[in-house]
């Protein structure tokens, strides 16, 4: 070592110690960075991002209906053309948006469309601020490619998207608003959608997180492949087919609602999906067939909050709540009125294929036909009353407790011959009084069906689709092989797609077993957190309850990967320096 070096660093031993110290600092800093950016969530820290990483039911961007428009491109529709400030161009009657960014759209376009065809990594924000687009043949708003599109309805504005026909069936475009990728509607303005096909279509996730939507569609009102998620919005749907449909080949499509209103005055079926969860909000459906249809064997239909009202005055072989798997009611208010004709069943769980029908909270009045009536499982934690009793259309039904306190009171629109009633606090052994248009009956709660029909459990399940509607394999429910290769008639209590577990072992939407029903060792395990509200990801697991938005279902964002890589390199550098010094 030279004298100069020695005078600067001291003797070799001191220099070695100093370099050891530097290596230790590098290593410590590396570990800190790694912890912060790889395990930040555990510490309550979140890496910087674009507001859309780590998606749960709703992301920050989904909920941002008032984003800053400073610097946004402007698109002014001029009847048969458009004035565009950048990021897009007008050609052959269409506004072509080809770049990521924010766009504010105003004015009227007749005989054209807004077409988005950007990079697959591009996020695009559209703010409709008094915009009207009518397409005589095709989608009014068509999203061919983007990572995600946010359709924001500007406060105080009225907007309109209309598709008058769809003749190019080979294109697959069949909605007035059609997206091949994730689509979010938010904001506080209004949007009218009129369509000769579906109203709003999302080939992936369709999120409605704000605004007032009035949808009239010849087919489905809302139609998605992966999910429909609703909060803080007012939606009215008049549909020639289903009000809401979610379906995909992986059998993972789900409907989730946590707030807002969904009103469906006209439809064939109200909400059809492979999994249905209502955690809050208000739903009012007037279907021709089923109100809710969780259509696959092993599906779960859960109501944990809010209000669900289903009235069907004309249906035959229709169900109020229909699941080809299980039904869980853990909260909220449920009112069902079906006409006393045909095989109408207010509740229809797939008990013939191992499903359960349990109530542990909430208020329920379900009125329909005694011919196919079902009740809740006797093991339900909350008491219920199941009675064969007739009432005329408009009959007043009142249930009171032993102290004369009203537990529930409703005017029932349709004539009925069966009632199923439950209210919070009701328990086996309670004395209650049932009044139907003034005719009173004293009842002791037993959690049994007074008529005996409840024991049939799943007879209505034969109508789990629409009658015996073919399933994904083209077979009817009674012919469909289950997950064990057996047909429904041979079913051995193993649920397809759920690991082949028996009733007491089957994980519900939260990954826990469902209901307070005896499992295989005779023990009960009602651990379900309300709405099955841990949303399943691709492996059936989840980490969030309803109303929260912390579930991670997407890959780690690039920034986190970059910082993790830098941390690893720093750690490696420290190790190499230490080795060099010591040798």
pTM: 0.73
Both ends of the chain: CA-CA distance in Å? 15
CA distances (Å), origin 199, targets 196, 216, 222, 226, 239: 8, 7, 6, 17, 8
For residue 177, how many other CB atoms are within 10 A of its CB?
29
The pair of structure tokens assigned to 75 is: 């698109």
Residues 297/324, Cβ–Cβ less than 8 Å: yes
Q: Rounded to an integer, what distance in angstroms lies between the CA atom of residue 218 and that of residue 193?
A: 11
Query: Which residues, listed in sequence order, are joined to residue 410 by a DSSP beta bridge?
Result: 397
* Residue 343: predicted pLDDT: 78
Predicted local distance difference test score (pLDDT) of residue 373: 85
Strands of the sheet with 292-294, listed across from one edge: 88-91, 94-97, 113-117, 141-145, 175-179, 198-202, 222-224, 244-246, 271-273, 292-294, 319-323, 345-348
The number of helices, as runs of H, and strands, as runs of E, in the chain is: 4, 38
Q: What is the rounded distance in angstroms from the CA atom of residue 468 to the CA atom of residue 551?
A: 36
Rg of the chain over Cα atoms, rounded to whole angstroms, equals 29
CA distance 348 to 514: 17
Q: What is the pLDDT of residue 451?
A: 43
Beta bridge partners of 73: 103
DSSP three-state, residue 328: strand
Q: Are 366 and 388 in contact (CB under 8 A)?
A: no
Contact 128, 157 (CB under 8 A): yes
Identify the CA nearest to 107 among candidates 125, 126, 80, 88: 80
Alpha carbon distances (Å) from 75 to 64, 80, 85, 211, 420:
21, 13, 7, 21, 56
What are the average pLDDT values for consecutive 10-residue runs of the chain, which has 583 residues?
Answer: 43 55 55 44 43 76 96 96 96 96 98 96 98 98 97 98 96 97 98 98 97 98 97 98 95 96 98 97 97 94 98 89 96 96 86 92 95 90 95 97 96 95 96 96 88 34 36 36 35 32 36 36 35 36 36 42 59 59 50
E strand or H helix that includes residue 300: strand 300-303
Q: Give the whole-angstrom CA distance, residue 412 versus residue 525.
A: 35
The pLDDT of residue 14 = 54
Number of residues that make up the chain: 583
Helices 12-38, 558-582: inter-axial angle, 10-degree rounding: 160
In the DSSP assignment, the letter for residue 556 is P
Give the integer Cα–Cα distance in Å for 108 and 158.
12
Burial bucket for residue 576 (CB in 10 Å: 0-12, 13-18, 19+): exposed
């Amino acid at each position: 070592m030279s004298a100069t070096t020695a005078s600067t660093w001291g003797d070799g031993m001191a220099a070695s110690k100093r370099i050891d110290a530097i290596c230790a600092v590098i290593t410590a800093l590396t570990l800190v960075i790694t912890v912060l950016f790889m395990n930040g969530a555990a510490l309550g820290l979140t890496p910087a991002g674009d507001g859309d990483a780590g998606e749960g039911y709703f992301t920050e961007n989904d909920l941002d209906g008032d984003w800053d428009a400073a610097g946004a491109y402007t698109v002014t529709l001029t009847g048969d053309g458009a004035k565009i400030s950048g990021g897009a161009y007008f050609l052959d009657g269409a506004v072509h948006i080809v770049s990521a960014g924010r766009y504010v759209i105003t004015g009227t376009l007749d005989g054209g469309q807004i077409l988005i065809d950007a990079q697959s990594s591009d996020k695009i924000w559209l703010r409709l601020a008094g915009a009207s687009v009518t397409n005589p043949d095709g989608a009014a708003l068509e999203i061919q490619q983007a990572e995600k599109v946010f359709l924001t309805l500007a406060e105080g504005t009225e907007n309109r998207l209309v598709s008058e026909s769809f003749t190019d069936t080979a294109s697959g475009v069949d909605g007035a608003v059609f997206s091949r990728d994730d689509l979010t509607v938010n904001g506080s303005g209004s949007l009218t959608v009129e369509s000769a096909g579906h109203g709003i279509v999302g080939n992936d996730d369709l999120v409605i997180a704000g605004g007032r939507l009035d949808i009239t569609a010849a087919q489905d009102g809302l139609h998605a492949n992966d999910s429909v998620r609703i909060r803080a919005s007012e939606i009215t749907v008049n549909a020639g087919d289903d009000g809401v449909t979610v379906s995909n080949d992986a059998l993972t499509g789900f409907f989730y609602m946590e707030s807002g209103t969904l009103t469906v005055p006209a439809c064939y079926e109200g909400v059809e999906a492979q999994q249905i969860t209502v955690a809050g909000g208000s739903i009012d459906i007037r279907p021709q067939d089923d109100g809710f249809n969780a259509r696959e064997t092993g599906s779960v239909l859960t109501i944990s909050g809010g209000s669900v009202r289903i009235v069907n005055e004309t249906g035959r072989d229709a169900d109020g709540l229909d699941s080809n798997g299980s039904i869980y009611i853990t909260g909220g208010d449920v009112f069902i009125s079906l006409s006393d004709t045909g095989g109408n069943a207010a509740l229809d769980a797939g008990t013939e294929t191992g499903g359960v029908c349990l109530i542990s909270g909430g208020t329920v009045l379900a009125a329909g036909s005694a011919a196919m009536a079902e009740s809740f499982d006797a093991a339900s934690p909350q008491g219920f009353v199941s009675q064969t009793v007739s009432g005329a259309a408009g009959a007043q039904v009142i249930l009171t407790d032993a102290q004369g306190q009203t537990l529930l009171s409703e005017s029932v629109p349709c004539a009925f011959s069966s009632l199923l009633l439950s209210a919070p606090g009701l328990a086996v052994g309670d004395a209650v009084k049932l009044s139907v248009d003034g005719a009173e009956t004293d009842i002791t709660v037993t959690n049994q069906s007074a008529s005996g029909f409840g024991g049939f459990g799943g007879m209505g399940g034969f109508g789990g689709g629409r009658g015996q509607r073919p399933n994904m394999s083209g077979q009817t429910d009674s012919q469909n092989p289950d997950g064990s290769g057996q047909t429904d008639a041979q079913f051995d209590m193993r649920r397809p797609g759920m690991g082949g577990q028996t009733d007491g072992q089957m994980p519900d939407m939260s990954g826990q077993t469902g209901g307070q029903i005896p499992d295989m060792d005779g023990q009960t395990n009602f651990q379900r957190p309300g709405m099955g509200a841990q949303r399943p990801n691709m492996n059936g697991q989840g980490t969030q309850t309803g109303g929260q938005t912390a579930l991670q279902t997407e890959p780690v964002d690039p920034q986190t990967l970059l910082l993790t890589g830098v941390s690893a390199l720093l750690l490696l550098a420290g190790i190499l320096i230490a080795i060099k010094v010591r040798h």
